[in-house]
Structure 1
Amino acid sequence: MTRNFEQFPDDDNGNVLWQMAEDGDDLAEAHEIEFSLAFQSEELAEKCALYLLKEEQKISLFEDEESDINEWIITIYIYMEPEYSDIVDLEEWFTKIAEQHGGEYDGWGCMAYVYDDEDIEEE
């Protein structure tokens, strides 16, 4: 498989999407993509979480106790086809929202959806 740099640009997002495609993940299928925002205080995280809920976003909020610093994480769950331009647009929006609420954008990820034809049995 040859990499199409228009579909998978040579940057972090393009590299992740390319790796997903190389691993056999069907990028034409919708995935639940998780975007993360990080905050230094519970109060800031809660204000941002309330804003995101008003924007009708599906979120979770938790304290990252494994972090060296006391950090609160908001995860936003978006069900979408993992397309480069859409991910970049959402990253820009979430970066702006995080900054407006005293936090920072902390990246995205999703579960891989890889199916082996042999795993699907016909009855």
Structure 2
Amino acid sequence: MQYPDDDNGKMLTAMADAGIDLSKALDIDFFLVFDDQRDAESALEGIQTTDLDGEVELLLNDESGKWELIVCLNMLPEYDALVSQESHLNDFSGEFGGVSDGWGVMQHQDGDDEFMDDDHEHGTDCKH
């Protein structure tokens, strides 16, 4: 599939090239960044009162020294839906002094098996 030549399009192209099935819903993490802890905590409280169907996590990024509110939504990774959701979350975070800092998807990486539970028995339906 052909995507626009922007950051979102490039990310979707990279995901497809990595073998991720973009026809299935994925847990997509949207990152909202705040300079001030109180602003980030207010945004967390604010987002928890919305009808947003997802998980949220607030953490301090030790590297940047900024607060990150991570909003995880299970959704189809469709270009227009991602752009719309990112724009909506950017507007939301702006109300609390924050900005949207993109999105991403966790996927299996080489070396992840070292953390796998050794007691797990692999069945015929296992995907790892």
**What TM-score results when the alignment is normalised by the length of structure 1?**
0.82
SS in structure 1 at match of 2:67: strand
Matched residue, 1:62? 59
Matched residue, 1:50? 45
RMSD: 2.1
Moved over 4 A (4+): none
**Which range moves more in the overlay, 53-62 or 89-98?**
53-62
* Cα shift at 1:56: 3.8
Change (3 A) 1:113 1:26: farther
Matched positions, count = 111
Change (3 A) 1:42 1:62: same
Segments of 5+ residues of structure 1 without an aligned counterpart are 115-119
Question: Equivalent of 1:105, from 100, 107, 114?
Answer: 100
d(CA) in 2 for partners of 1:121, 1:19: 29
* Cα shift at 1:121: 4.3
Segments of 5+ residues of structure 2 without an aligned counterpart are 110-122
Change (3 A) 1:72 1:36: same
d(CA) in 2 for partners of 1:90, 1:101: 17
**What TM-score results when the alignment is normalised by the length of structure 2?**
0.79
d(CA) in 1 for partners of 2:101, 2:17: 25
* Cα shift at 1:81: 1.1
d(CA) in 1 for partners of 2:7, 2:75: 19
Q: Deviations over 1:77-122 (max 9, x none)?
A: 00011110000000110110111111111110002379xxxxx847
